[in-house]
Structure 1
Amino acid sequence: MKAIFSRFRPSKKLVVILSAALSVSAASGGAAVYVGRDRLMARIAEPPPSGLECTTIRTLKLDHQGQRWVRMHVKTDRASGPDRIRTALRVVSALSQKEKADLYQVVVLDAAGPEERAAVRGAAIGAEVLFAPGPQSVKGMEDPFRASYNDGAANASGMFHGKTVRLELDQVRALMSAMEDRSLCIDPSAATESAEADEAAEQTIESAEAPAGH
């Protein structure tokens, strides 16, 4: 074996060719890695098409001049304006699948903002969507959607002091068509009601199984 390897002495020309080929291969491989990484980072940096996780504060079902209106107040944590409006559009879409109404309204607040019903106005509103399936029947609604958000970040008190950005109908449709998720926000009250119902059911079963006294 030593004799075989001792006889094999590559020429300087072959060494140069092999070195050049390996250099090109390494460079192209490195470029592929960096391109893939750039694409991955760009993908991560893209805003979630369906908005962010949110929490339901309250759902109000109103009878307004013979019409049924459903209003929902939700909150997100330090979300940007575009993320808030995507969240509101996702929620109003999910709400319209769950509840039948003439007008749906979803208001997005910051997690640090006021939650009292009377305080949900002005600078407390980070995004708002109105949806009327039959806009001609709802006063003031010319189109099915009216969507807007505040482009400022929430301050420590959860208030927004930026400019109001209103979306055109085609922008709303484009955002909604790109959504991959159509879920509502987390509803703490629903979880509490479910837990109370489970506890009541367990107590009923225990009472039924308890031996009768003598």
Structure 2
Amino acid sequence: MAAGKRRLFHAFRISRKLALLSGGFLLVLGASGTAALMFAPARLIPGYAQNQSGYCKTIYQSGFKRGEEKRLIALIATSDTDPAARVRTGVRVARHLASTLKPDLVIVQVADTHGPTTRAELRGAAIGAEIVHAPNPAKTLAVSKPWEARYANTLPTRAGYYFGPRIDMRLTELEAINLDLKQIEMSIPDDEHVQACAGDVVDEEPELVVSAEVTESAGGH
């Protein structure tokens, strides 16, 4: 079991040319008043300060509705400094959430383990990558493709901020990452339940709890 998890968490490597930044989705949620964002200080989260490559920790996750759509947003902190590794970690987490919680749309935002942890600060330059995944694009009005991703093409500062050009990834690049991850997951026995991030509590029967509907003023993702 341990060997399978190590393969899953450490086999994620692609070109250094990739990197990404999000578009402030958490701010939209806060403005809509439809989700209560609770952020624990990073130093109080067990294992959060770990610095090994590939490590990540879920620091916020919430489901909500937009019309008839079930959407899910998660914010994770990772030790990955390489932009490509951040994207790959975000895609892996999005795949996991889509397969276990069955939302129509998944948004994963990636921050740095040394970055800010308060609601007001976790946006803009504090987000190094954003991945949007629609398992079935026909079921959501937010996107027309199964994958979208943006990243900041830079390494994080010592304070966990990303100051660099913003890059939109091509669908073909994201599909290649998705296929690679799918092949890795297929090599892990079915009875080995792997959580989205190392250190997260494994829920054997996960359930998507959806909050009140997002208002029209909140717009799409």
TM-score strictly above 0.5: yes
Partner residue of 1:72 out of 63, 71, 74:
74
Q: Are the structure 2 counterparts of residues 187 and 69 from structure 1 closer, same or farther at C-alpha, using a change threshold of 3 Å?
A: farther
User: C-alpha separation between the residues in 2 aligned to 1:120 and 1:67?
Assistant: 25
Structure 2 counterpart SS, 1:93: helix
Q: Show the 5 A alignment for 1:138-177.
A: 138-177=140-179
User: C-alpha separation between the residues in 1 aligned to 2:80 and 2:174?
Assistant: 22
* 8 Å contact kept, 1:90–1:183: no
Task: Please state how far the C-alpha of 1:121 moved relative to its aligned partner.
Answer: 1.5
Partner residue in 2 for 1:56? 58
1:185 pairs with 2:185: no
User: C-alpha separation between the residues in 1 aligned to 2:11 and 2:166?
Assistant: 20
User: C-alpha separation between the residues in 1 aligned to 2:119 and 2:138?
Assistant: 28
Partner residue in 1 for 2:21? none
Structure 2 counterpart SS, 1:118: coil
**RMSD of Structure 2 on Structure 1 (CA):** 2.7
Q: Show the 5 A alignment for 1:83-94.
A: 83-94=85-96
Partner residue in 2 for 1:133? 135
The structure showing larger relative contact order (alpha-carbon pairs under 8 Å, at least 6 residues apart) is 2
AA matched with 1:168: R
User: C-alpha separation between the residues in 1 aligned to 2:71 and 2:11?
Assistant: 31
Structure 2 counterpart SS, 1:117: coil
Partner residue of 1:107 out of 94, 106, 109:
109
Q: Are the structure 2 counterparts of residues 137 and 118 from structure 1 closer, same or farther at C-alpha, using a change threshold of 3 Å?
A: farther
AA matched with 1:96: A
Structure 2 counterpart SS, 1:48: coil
* 8 Å contact kept, 2:61–2:73: yes
* 8 Å contact kept, 1:135–1:141: yes
1:162-184: CA deviation from partner (whole Å, max 9, x where unpaired): 11121111111111212224751
Q: Which runs of 5+ in 2 are unaligned?
A: 1-9, 15-52, 186-193, 204-221
Count of equivalent residues: 147
**TM-score (normalised: structure 1):** 0.61
1:119-149: CA deviation from partner (whole Å, max 9, x where unpaired): 3211111111001123234234121111121
User: C-alpha separation between the residues in 1 aligned to 2:165 and 2:196?
Assistant: 27
Partner residue in 2 for 1:122? 124
State which structure, 1 or 2, has the greater radius of gyration over its C-alpha atoms. 1
Q: Give me the identity figure in percent.
A: 27
Partner residue in 2 for 1:22? none
* 8 Å contact kept, 2:13–2:88: yes
